[in-house]
Amino acid sequence: MTAFALLGVAALSGCGSSDSDATTVTVFAAASLRQVFTELGAEYEDTHPGTKVVFSFAGSSDLAAQLNQGAPADVLATADAVNMDKVVTGGRITEQPQIFATNALTIVTPPGNPEHIASLADLSRPGLSLVVCAPQVPCGSATEQVTSAAGVTIAPVSEESSVSDVLAKVTTGQADAGVVYVTDAKQAGDKVVTVPFAESASVVNAYPIAVLSDTTSTSDARGFVALVTGADGRRALTAAGFGSP
């Protein structure tokens, strides 16, 4: 069975379902939101006994494709407006998405920075094992925009489907450098060396969130969105390194 099929089975068994004891809310969210949304999901469950928040984390382009192919879900949070708009255009979202956070890019290297990467321009070095996100993924699109504007030509050895996959390649020593979000670098801690670059300020991703129009758990779906966009959500997002909307 394919990964998508497995996701569909899992979602069908839980999304929007309820019995006398529990309600399940399925949230599709960009991979870069994994840590903070997992924390917020636990907080929502604590304050709403009998409700279970289930997450599907992946690249935003994959999430949009899955939803437009009919995958059940209650809430969608993407790392850019482009992929959210695909789901709006597909008819699965009819409300106005809310921007709840922003994020910017940074360079990460393995501990010790063996290749002595110090700038965006250093990523163009011949022979450098560089990993980035694929162009259709928000972090990949942002990387393309930043390098193009700076006149830096890169030749990545791999283009990954999510920012977490890029980070994994660096933390496991499979790459000399990677381009990820500042939040992912912060989450990785001493597993990476973070190399900020000034050009990243020119491309900042805005994160929208919305309730799916066909949710059958409307109250809890809207409740989770309210948590994310409210004061508690802002504190958690700030602590994780996300910028304000």
**What's the pLDDT tens digit per position in 100-147?**
999 999 999 999 999 999 999 999 999 999 999 999 999 999 999 999
Query: How far from 158 is each of 131, 162, 165, 183, CA to CA, in Å?
Result: 5, 12, 10, 21
In this model, does residue 9 exceed pLDDT 80?
Answer: no
In this model, does residue 8 exceed pLDDT 80?
Answer: no
Sign of CA dihedral 189, 62, 207, 181: positive
What's the confidence (pLDDT) of residue 19? 44
Q: How far apart are CA 182 and CA 242, in angstroms?
A: 8
In this model, does residue 12 exceed pLDDT 70?
Answer: no
Domain map (residue ranges) of the chain: 3-102+207-239, 105-202
Query: Could you tell me if 154 and 123 are in contact, meaning their C-beta atoms sit under 8 angstroms apart?
Result: yes
Torsion of CA 58, 143, 101, 35, to 10 degrees: 40
Return phi, psi of residue 100, to 5°. Answer: -120, -10
| Residues of the chain above pLDDT 90, percent | 91
Q: Is the pTM of this model over 0.75?
A: yes
What's the confidence (pLDDT) of residue 22? 80
Q: How far apart are CA 60 and CA 227, in angstroms?
A: 21
Which residues line the annotated binding site for molybdate?
32, 60, 163, 181
3-state secondary structure of 153: coil
What's the confidence (pLDDT) of residue 225? 98
Are domains 3-102+207-239 and 105-202 of this chain identical in fold? yes
Segment 152-178 mean pLDDT: 97
Structure tokens given for 102 = 């922003």
User: Quick one: pLDDT band at residue 10, thresholds 50, 70, 90?
Assistant: very low
3-state secondary structure of 228: helix
Pairing of β 205-211 and β 98-103: antiparallel
Q: How far apart are CA 63 and CA 72, in angstroms?
A: 11
Query: Could you tell me if 62 and 87 are in contact, meaning their C-beta atoms sit under 8 angstroms apart?
Result: no
What's the confidence (pLDDT) of residue 21? 63
Q: How far apart are CA 137 and CA 163, in angstroms?
A: 8
Architecture of domain 3-102+207-239: 3-Layer(aba) Sandwich (3.40)
Which residues line the annotated binding site?
32, 60, 163, 181
Torsion of CA 23, 40, 185, 206, to 10 degrees: 90
Q: Which CATH superfamily is domain 105-202 in?
A: Periplasmic binding protein-like II (3.40.190.10)
Q: How far apart are CA 140 and CA 130, in angstroms?
A: 13
User: Quick one: pLDDT band at residue 11, thresholds 50, 70, 90?
Assistant: very low
Return phi, psi of residue 173, to 5°. Answer: 80, 15
User: 19-33 burial, b for 16+ CB within 10 Å, e for fewer?
Assistant: eeeebbbbbbbbbbb
In this model, does residue 64 exceed pLDDT 60?
Answer: yes
What's the confidence (pLDDT) of residue 65? 97
